Structure 1
């Protein structure tokens, strides 16, 4: 055997090992594909042809090798396990409602490298675009439909230099983008397929930019609605195509081809989408400062550099507009800091805190109220009533799906996927939580034992949700018990919240309390003023401190004036033990004893409650 032949044989096993990774199907994969039902293979070929993965010729005459390779490409794009066969996960993904624009849209010019987002290659020359709603979906309120479409355009305007303006359909003026709702074959060569499947499609700028929506779909035009497809989300995706974006391979991007219901914040445009749109049209242009309001306070020198600590209006720090905006966003919370409910829930990419009061809700940052609030509960939370009694988040096990419960009177609503109410709800409290009274004051899940605690007046109940769902007893016969067990906690609570730091806070009126569970008792330095520490209310609203809380003293942090004794009991924040006399090595004898007894006391307290 010649030396070149021996060299080829030496590397042959390595070459065969990388064939599947290189997109070339292995013999085992081809055999598995050949054994699959013919109907499933035809379904896969048709899907891949429809959405640009194979040409018409390939779909008619392609070999199993070609089909397997294209399936592997699609699976990688869709975030599926790359098997190269029509497995169950691939079939399910192909049946998922989606956009009708091909995934493999041919770019107008070859790009040097594949980006996470994808540009089709054409764009609008001007950045002030117009649109016209030519016709309407069936059985949907036109003004709500108009708002959903306007909001979808605005979502792109918020992250780019683009602006959008609607032109009335009754005028003869031509718009840049026509928005239409059509049935089946509607004259553009890409017929709709009825409910499900293809929801909509749009044309890139070079082809006119128009967006068409399948009129047979049950579009939801009110945020949080059920039994349909959210028009705002679908429209925002399609308008991305109208602006020049192709489908993205990032699964959580808006420009990924598959439909996903929006979250409660409706922040459907993700970082990948922002990078794509700004690469074509640039970031939002800075807005000029508004002219002074001559009917308000005298104009002040804005050249001084304020310290951001919330000084008075005439100190020349230039923050008047910021303070005014903050006051307008949280005015109702600062005038009366009592609330109906506070929950902290998982919202990608992290956790968010929401406050409910009357018919409004707010989203909180780490130190204040987020911009753009309040908003109406009815506009975002899937049919929840106003004036809730309370809400709580229940997570039975680590990494399990959160269940969010909302209470009012004798009814309870449950959400598994925010902000949509689960099917079959609302239910009676007596049905979902047998043994718990109606008109509760507050409820929360205690992290130490994963049990739910309900409060009403000066009594409380412990509920085992997992046991109740398994047919067991949710409430022990020894309940209700007196709230005095929670040492220092008042009766008639408003709400309870377990915040991002894992600590639990109890709210009543304009104050809030923190309870240590090692041992069970009120934390020193509480109650605190809810308006200042949670809602960012300014000093003139009656807050405890003289300025906005520092970053090191946000909400649940131990204040500087707490005593040594209060800090030792329960180990303080972060379960760290303070040292005696500032020494890094010495501890008090009593502290050593405490460190040995506290775990036992905590376990006894959990069992007692």
Structure 2
């Protein structure tokens, strides 16, 4: 069996009567009735969510009886009429497993027949770092290992008991996701094959906060299903059907859920050792697989680890006040706001750009330029400018130069510096041509940064020059280096 979490917001329309608020019971639209029928068919019938969606085929009386059953479950007035309160509940964030069960466990009481449960993440989300995902999933599983004899062990290859992935739409289990703001995740009860597997909808925005979809809370709920728990009628329980954000600091498994999982596996001895911990660095490379239980084959370069002490950058630039770090087809976006650092494939942000050698922002035109080999592209936001790509010779480079290593627009002198080998050029954006007297040797005219540059950018009045895993903060007016540090110190590690 499978469970899923849905997310959608609605407005509750209320009227005042007899001194209190009551739901409006005006006739509902055809769309609202159809949606209610679909909801009741999916969550309050014997069809089950792992079966194909069926058309409601019961009589009006059966529909009303089922609606009453749903209203009773959620503590609403059981009128059998589709009022605004019932519609509001139907649209709350929730898990998709049916609510009408005889027990607090799945039918037949499936459970793991072992005490060490392995799990493996085959596809990560770019919304969070792999390190954050690993730590969050381990934290969610620890809720269960703290109160039962179960231990959880993450593995890097082969088939685990619980296979985990972030995917969108149809992802191979006959339960396709439905895009943003719909089903958040689903999990299967313990067993062979898909048993225990847990899938998260990549079309959602995954966070560790109250914004978007909180990965810890969603994962903890879905792992409850992967342990054999169904839903609880107690609203304070983790396994209550509807999703609601709560503060996750110091979160422990609510008592109702503790009783449910201990009924399956027993109580943990105080001498047992919990093994569900975040994986140590460096993180394993991501190797996507087409199906949860296929042996993975490497199909792409490893996803770079931003906390690697040997981290090098292909390019760095500011874009609309945020810093973007480029590496092996991916980019990290660093902001000063709550969401910190996020990672995405470059091509998912700027279509047609798969990897870059250099990048810079020209704020006056609100344009970002990307360089790869002997060509470059211009973008405004995420929109490619017409007429690109162009050859770098259009900028004034000689035919002997077949690419640039780094680029940075120095706003306080209104020049763009291009680096290639041990030399650099100065480009006048307004005149559209190279300045006379260039190229110059890097170590002579920019003393203190060495002989080569991999990436360069301006931030808060200083220039930053990166070569290999190290970086130099530079005061251009004084032509002196301020300090040196590792690239990964930008990465909040």
TM category (shorter chain) comes to: 0.3 to 0.5
- The structure, 1 or 2, with the larger RCO (C-alpha pairs under 8 Å, 6+ apart) is 2
* Greater fraction of residues in helix: 1
Q: Which of the pair has more CA radius of gyration?
A: 1
